[in-house]
Amino acid sequence: MATPTPSKVIQIVDHVKGKRTEFYEQDLSKFVAENCIQKNVHYPVFSIIGARSSGKSTLMNLMFNTKFAALNQSRGMNAASRGIWAATCNSPRAIVLDAEGSDGAEHQDDTSFEKKTALFALVISDLMFFNIKQDEIDRNNGGSIPLLRIVLQERLNHRMHKLKIVFVVRDYNDKISKEKLHAKLISMLAKIWGEKFPKNKSSNISDYFEITVEFLPNLDYYGKEEFRNRCAEMRNRNVNHFVAQHYTCPVEEFPRHANILWESIKKNIRLDMPSYWAITSSNRCKAVSDELLLVVKQVISQGYKKLPQHSKDDLNKMTEWLGDILKSSLTAYDDAVKCYHKETAMAFKEELKSQILLNAKPCFKQALDNYEITFGKNMADELECMIEACSNLNDHVILHPILDYIDEFKENITDSVLRSGMYQMGLTVKEWLDESGTGSSSFFPNLTNQVDFLERVKSPVQSKAMEAHENSRGGGGEDKEVEGEEDDARYSIINYFLSWITWFICT
């Protein structure tokens, strides 16, 4: 199998002490567009920090097949990575960050930049690797310890999510067991945490970090292949099946968010990441909703004019047309905001449904009105035919209105609406037809009044008619049977007659 081509890298933050610190948002945007295969999905951010010349770049290159500049010891121990560099990885999907090492001779006492890079890694990462050498564990100073103090302090100074941090113990040898080293490292972290945390509060480091410890042997001692295998195992344990648990955004939005956060860090603004992402989600969901609603208005307005009249008058075709607009709009919305806060996205989705309903209302109401008129005319025609075909209508016949047309009317509306998916608007057939429905009286006032009237007269008339109908069938032999059949015909005719009269009384 051919070895995959290493991912390209790009510098996103350049820093020269006392002169400049620049974030290259445009370059990063172009880089993401060209190298991230999947679009409109979240790429988890994996970063690494640690002491200078500790092999951070080499570790990331072997885990993610990137091309970060690695240390060349023959040229001295100067930092290989200056500023912050980024690369993309498509398997697994990730954005990989390599930050300049701390304690660098290039910056000497420039701890300000170290704080900025550490905080940036904390707030932008889904998972952070921290490089620390075995002989640094249990020390008070030197190597990675000052940076570790900065990380813990910055975590306390800002409000952010619980971060998974993987401490990678470098140059591990088996002279001391992993269990003892692990215990020493955790003890050291707890000690530093106790120094940093205000005395009037009580907390545990595990409330702020999900801590994992990995051990890597010396690269030169064990050889590159063995080291590569260990890196692959570590990646499999921590990265391959990683799922972001907190704030996510589409990869296309990452450069803009990264720049906003970096500028805030430069200005020493206290970061409140939950609030930041809540506002970001709200703004994005509203923008998407507004954009889609504008499209819906245009589609309904222009599309309705182009529909043939028979489609405008056909309730089934109209609900199907409006239902398709609804479904496609909500699908587009879900896809556009799937990376943002779910509750925020759902709230704007409900509002979008409501607005689509308001814009669909005139078209649907017109189709319904036409359906009422057409249905009434058809019933009147049928009534006239039945009256002409039958004679001897007697006034003494008690009305027996089964009102089948009401049930048919309801069923036609229900079937049409359910087939089209219009019920997703949050407007149910019960709300349309039930007097207690909050949307019925304002949406279909004529229909509501008509159905209410007919349903109220149906029960008492039906019970009296059933009583008379049973009496007409009791006794009398063959003559009574003929009379009963004649009465059945009369019941049908009078039933439709009542329906027809009531229809136009209430419409």
Q: pLDDT by residue (tens digit) across 255-295?
A: 999 999 999 998 989 999 888 888 999 999 999 999 999 99
pLDDT score at 96 = 94
Structure confidence at residue 409 (pLDDT): 61
Distances (CA, A) of 453 to 19, 441, 502: 83, 14, 9
SS3 338: coil
Does 144 score more than 90 pLDDT?
A: no
The pLDDT score that the predictor gives to residue 505 is: 38
Instruction: Return the higher-pLDDT residue of 213 and 462.
Output: 213
Instruction: Give the mean pLDDT of the chain.
Output: 75
Average confidence (pLDDT) over 317-331? 87
- The answer to whether residue 465 scores a pLDDT higher than 50 is no
Q: Please, which residues have CB within 8 angstroms of residue 142's CB and are 6 or more apart in sequence? A: 136
pLDDT at 46: 94
pLDDT in tens, 91-120: 788 999 998 877 644 444 557 888 889 999
The CA distances from residue 276 to 247, 260, 272, 345, in Å, are 10, 10, 6, 15
Does pLDDT of 81 surpass 70?
no
What's the average model confidence in pLDDT over 286-308?
Answer: 93
The model scores a pTM over 0.75: no
Calpha distance 484→492 (Å, rounded): 13
Delineate the domains of the chain, giving CATH numbers in brackets.
Answer: 9-271 (3.40.50.300), 297-506 (no CATH)
Contact 319, 422 (CB under 8 A): yes
- What digits encode the pLDDT tens for the residues 167-206? 999 988 888 899 999 999 999 988 888 876 655 455 788 8
For β-strands 127-133 and 163-172, DSSP reports them as parallel
pLDDT score of 333 more than 90: yes
